């Protein structure tokens, strides 16, 4: 039985607009991992843009603030964090491997060998492997085998989904975390972590798209048959919505964020024509008002475009009309009133907001927001690690194992 400190896990969301740290205790059992939220800390941050560090000092400061706040709330110190990674520099592709089976039946070593063969391809200059996720095995050309160990056959093939990242992006994020006094236990592809916090097993099985409406990017990931099948990052995002409000209503960026949060709507028909809002103004401008519908019009136009790009990404990946469980929205943009109504119109699929809720205890309400989905997902990921390996690293000021310096090759067979 692990001691409480060995069951501590910490997650770090290094977003384009903020850093969030979450500390949790891995409770429950290996079959049903529970996450007891102990502490949460948030800091605004402009040092990271779409998963790439722009300002080391600023990012380090953000990590220190978010993690220290989370530690104070939890009443514990952590050493190691699970950090999310996403952005245009992340690429996913399927790869195929074949080996001949040496013994009478397929053993773990055969599976490891075929996985290695499938992932032994060129990742492109400056890129390294983040995850290798087995999708399907074939024994003597019979497909659809998820667990080949113990079966009989002479030829074993594997379909593996490989996720690669720009090495420098990974190292620079790791550097900021180290400077802040923590250590990255593992980098985790953002939608993989998010999926653990917000998707139901049925959604993952039937087929759905996870669309994260972030401040710097929009991430689209497709799940089907219980596995991740595609991931893509789009440039158009919440930042563009803010920029349109700045332009359209002649307000500062900060005021545009306030308007979005206080009076925003993603769907014009939901806003009464009689509604007016007060606009921030300079002393020279004097008091200003605007119809709330104007703000909704601006926001809807851009969010609709963002969703159309996401729809396009889904179609290009070959999943048009193939996702019966529809679209699950996360990220700050998913907080906009009317976003589900707009989504249903654009995607012509079921749409809902993804709020972390399943298997949460402790201070669960502090992560029950679509904007917290990644940070919560990272501690879910950590909790599963604890239950699979028997202990976590969160509570230890561990020696610099520097996992992220080598190719971070992890088989996620048992995970996804
Ligand atoms: N209450 C709200 N209503 C509408 N929009 C909101 C609200 N709160 C936050 N947002 C928007 O959400 C965006 C930030 O979302 P989020 O925190 O998920 O991004 P991020 O993780 O920092 O960025 P990225 O994932 O792109 O790197 C901003 O554009 C912000 O304006
Ligand atoms: Mg984000």
Per-residue pLDDT reduced to its tens digit, 327-345: 999 999 999 999 999 999 9
Pocket-forming residues, ligand 1, beta carbon under 6 Å: 15-18, 50, 214-217, 237-239, 242, 257, 260-261, 264, 331-333, 335-336, 371
Mean pLDDT of the residues in the chain: 91
Query: Judging by DSSP bridges, how do beta strands 80-85 and 8-14 pair with one another?
Result: parallel
Q: Report CA(239)–ligand 1 centroid distance (Å).
A: 8
Looking at all shown ligands, the one closest to residue 302's CA atom is 1
Looking at all shown ligands, the one closest to residue 253's CA atom is 1
Q: Report CA(224)–ligand 2 centroid distance (Å).
A: 22
128 φ/ψ angles, rounded to the nearest 5 degrees? -135, 165
Which pLDDT tens digit goes with each residue over 3-57? 446 799 999 999 999 999 999 999 887 778 789 999 999 999 999 999 999 999 9
Q: Which one of 331, 340, 375, 377 would you pick to mutate in the ligand 1 pocket, going by the greatest count of ligand atoms within 8 A of its CB?
A: 331
Name residues whose C-beta falls within 8 Å of residue 150's C-beta, 6 or more positions apart in sequence: 105, 106
Q: Which atom of ligand 1 is nearest to the CA of 13?
A: 21
Mean pLDDT of 262-283: 95
Looking at all shown ligands, the one closest to residue 244's CA atom is 1
The pLDDT score that the predictor gives to residue 5 is 60
Q: Report CA(15)–ligand 1 centroid distance (Å).
A: 9
For residue 142, the cross-strand partners are 139
**What is the band of 349 on the pLDDT scale with cuts at 50, 70, 90?**
very high
The pLDDT score that the predictor gives to residue 410 is 54
Q: Which atom of ligand 1 is nearest to the CA of 48?
A: 27
Q: Report CA(193)–ligand 2 centroid distance (Å).
A: 12
Give the C-alpha separation, 273 to 264, whole Å.
14
75 φ/ψ angles, rounded to the nearest 5 degrees? 70, 25
**What is the band of 398 on the pLDDT scale with cuts at 50, 70, 90?**
very low
Q: Which atom of ligand 1 is nearest to the CA of 371?
A: 18
Q: Report CA(371)–ligand 2 centroid distance (Å).
A: 8
Q: Please return the burial class of 387, using the count of CB atoms within 10 Å of its CB with bins 0-12, 13-18 and 19+.
A: buried
Q: Report CA(17)–ligand 2 centroid distance (Å).
A: 8
CA-to-CA dists, residue 220 to 138, 325, 358, 383, 398, angstroms = 28, 15, 22, 25, 34
Name residues whose C-beta falls within 8 Å of residue 155's C-beta, 6 or more positions apart in sequence: 98, 99, 100, 101, 138, 139, 140, 141
Which residue's CA lies nearest to atom 4 of ligand 1?
Answer: 336
Q: Which one of 15, 219, 238 would you pick to mutate in the ligand 1 pocket, going by the greatest count of ligand atoms within 8 A of its CB?
A: 238
The pLDDT score that the predictor gives to residue 391 is 56
Which pLDDT tens digit goes with each residue over 232-249? 999 999 999 999 999 999
The pLDDT score that the predictor gives to residue 324 is 98
Q: Report CA(335)–ligand 2 centroid distance (Å).
A: 13
Q: Please return the burial class of 250, using the count of CB atoms within 10 Å of its CB with bins 0-12, 13-18 and 19+.
A: middle
The pLDDT score that the predictor gives to residue 348 is 97
**Domain architecture of the chain: domains with CATH:** 91-164 (3.30.1490.110), 201-354 (3.30.420.40)
Looking at all shown ligands, the one closest to residue 264's CA atom is 1
Residue 64: which of 171, 181, 183 has the closest Cα?
A: 181
């Amino acid at each position: 039985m692990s001691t409480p400190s060995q069951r501590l896990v910490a997650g770090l969301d290094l977003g384009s607009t903020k850093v969030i740290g979450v500390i949790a205790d891995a409770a429950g059992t290996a079959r049903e991992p529970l996450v007891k939220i102990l502490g949460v800390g948030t800091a605004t941050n402009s040092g990271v843009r779409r998963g790439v560090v722009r300002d080391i000092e600023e990012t380090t400061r953000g990590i220190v603030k978010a993690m220290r706040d989370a530690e104070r709330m939890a009443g514990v110190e952590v050493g190691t964090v699970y950090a999310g990674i996403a952005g245009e520099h992340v690429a996913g592709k399927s790869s195929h491997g074949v080996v001949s089976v040496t013994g009478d039946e397929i053993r773990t070593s055969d599976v490891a060998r075929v996985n290695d063969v499938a992932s032994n391809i060129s990742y492109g200059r400056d890129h390294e492997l983040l995850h290798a996720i087995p999708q399907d095995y074939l024994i003597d050309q019979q497909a659809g085998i998820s667990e080949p160990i113990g079966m009989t056959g002479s030829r074993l093939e594997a379909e593996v989904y490989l996720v690669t990242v720009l090495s420098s992006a990974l190292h620079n994020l790791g550097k900021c975390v180290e400077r802040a006094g923590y250590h990255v236990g593992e980098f985790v592809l953002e939608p993989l972590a998010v999926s653990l916090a917000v998707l139901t097993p049925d959604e993952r099985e039937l087929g759905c798209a996870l669309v994260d409406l972030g401040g710097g990017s929009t991430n689209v990931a497709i799940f089907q048959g219980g596995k991740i099948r595609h991931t893509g990052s789009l440039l158009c995002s919440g930042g563009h919505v803010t920029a349109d409000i700045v332009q359209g209503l002649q307000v500062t960026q900060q005021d545009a964020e306030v308007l979005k949060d206080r009076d925003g709507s993603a769907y014009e028909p939901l806003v009464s024509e009689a509604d007016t809002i007060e606009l921030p103004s300079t002393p020279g401008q004097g008091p200003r008002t605007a119809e709330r519908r104007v703000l909704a019009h601006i926001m809807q136009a851009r969010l609709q475009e963002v969703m159309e790009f996401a729809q396009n990404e889904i179609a290009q990946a070959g999943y048009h009309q193939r996702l019966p469980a529809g679209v699950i929205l996360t990220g700050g943009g998913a907080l906009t009133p009317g976003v589900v109504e707009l989504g249903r119109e654009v995607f012509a699929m079921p749409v809902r907001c993804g709020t972390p809720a399943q298997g949460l205890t402790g201070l669960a309400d502090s992560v029950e927001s679509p904007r917290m989905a990644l940070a919560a997902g990272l501690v879910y990921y950590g909790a599963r690690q604890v239950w699979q390996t028997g202990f976590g690293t969160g509570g230890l000021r561990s020696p610099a194992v520097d996992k992220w310096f080598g190719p971070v090759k992890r088989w996620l067979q048992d995970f996804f």
